[in-house]
């Protein structure tokens, strides 16, 4: 009895477990279609990246830069500075000749200086006038030599672009101008001493010309730079004067 009831249950039609409105697949084609729809679609394959050979290679960076490091160089001074230097050297030559000549004519010049001292102050003995003439000679000689050496040192400072050098050179020129004015009374005396005034005047004229060339715009700009600096490749040619 019990076995026959179980047989009836198995033979009875089963209820479909699908939701309402959905029909069961009628054949194998429908089953395959459903399975294909249930499988997620594969992602689209990405396009292959272009090869390196198809693109233009980047340019190689330059090994030279216009903004190079500053380099200290020894540039040629402008024409005005070179001319001033030449005039200073000529004045040194003239001053050296004046110094040597003044020392050579010392013995012949001392009596002339003693006579000038007698005219300035009378009533003294000959020894006093001779001592005074000797003192005047050596004082003038020391002034000429000191001015010459001072100008040489100032020229070295000028070429090294030291500040305020031109003012000291002007001071030495004023000393030389005063010596030229006073030379006829105490130095340019006698036949051989008369040549001293033109020599001292020529030296002062050369110094004046050197100072005039040293204050030209090119020379002033050259002194203001203090150092010559080059950036990048060397460039030849520069404004002169």
**Mean pLDDT value across residues 213-233:** 79
Runs of H (alpha helix) within the chain: 2-11, 28-38, 79-104, 106-120, 126-159, 165-186, 190-193, 196-214, 217-225
Average pLDDT, the chain: 77
Q: Evaluate whether 67 touches 189 at the Cβ level (below 8 Å).
A: no
Highest mean pLDDT among 57-71, 177-191, 223-237: 177-191
Q: Which of 205, 225, 239 is nearest to 80 (CA)?
A: 239
Distance CA 238, CA 241 (A): 10
pLDDT of residue 237: 46
Say if strands 228-230 and 71-73 run parallel, antiparallel, or are unpaired.
Answer: antiparallel
- 155 pLDDT above the threshold of 90: yes
Q: Evaluate whether 219 touches 229 at the Cβ level (below 8 Å).
A: no
Q: Evaluate whether 173 touches 150 at the Cβ level (below 8 Å).
A: no
Q: How does pLDDT run across 42-96, given as a tens digit for each residue?
A: 555 555 555 555 667 777 777 766 666 666 667 778 899 999 999 999 999 999 9
Domain extents in the chain: 79-229
- 182 pLDDT above the threshold of 90: no
Distance CA 136, CA 66 (A): 65
- 158 pLDDT above the threshold of 80: yes
pLDDT of residue 225: 81
Distance CA 62, CA 67 (A): 13
pLDDT of residue 73: 67
pLDDT of residue 1: 45
Whole-number Cα distances in Å, 123 to 127, 131, 134, 185: 12, 15, 18, 20
Q: Evaluate whether 80 touches 212 at the Cβ level (below 8 Å).
A: no
**Mean pLDDT value across residues 111-119:** 82
Residue bearing the bigger pLDDT, 58 or 213: 213
């Amino acid at each position: 009895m019990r076995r026959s009831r179980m047989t009836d249950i198995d033979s009875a039609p089963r209820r479909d477990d699908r939701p309402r409105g959905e029909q069961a697949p009628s054949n194998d084609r429908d089953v395959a279609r459903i399975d294909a729809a249930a499988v997620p679609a594969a992602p689209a394959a990405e396009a292959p990246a272009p090869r390196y050979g198809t693109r233009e290679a980047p340019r190689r960076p330059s090994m030279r830069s216009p903004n190079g490091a500053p380099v200290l160089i020894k540039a040629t001074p402008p024409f005005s500075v070179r001319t001033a230097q030449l005039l200073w050297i000529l004045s040194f030559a003239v001053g050296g000749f004046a110094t040597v000549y003044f020392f050579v004519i010392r013995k012949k010049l001392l009596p002339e200086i003693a006579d000038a001292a007698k005219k300035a102050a009378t009533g003294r003995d000959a020894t006093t006038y001779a001592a005074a003439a000797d003192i005047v000679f050596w004082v003038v000689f020391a002034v000429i030599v000191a001015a010459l050496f001072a100008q040489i040192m100032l020229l070295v400072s000028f070429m090294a672009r030291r500040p305020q050098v031109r003012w000291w050179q002007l001071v030495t020129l004023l000393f030389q101008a005063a010596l030229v004015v006073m030379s006829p009374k105490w130095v340019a005396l006698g036949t051989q001493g008369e040549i001293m005034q033109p020599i001292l005047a020529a030296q002062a004229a050369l110094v004046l010309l050197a100072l005039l060339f040293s204050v030209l715009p090119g020379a002033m700009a050259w002194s203001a730079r203090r150092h010559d600096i080059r950036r990048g490749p060397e460039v030849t040619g520069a404004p002169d004067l």
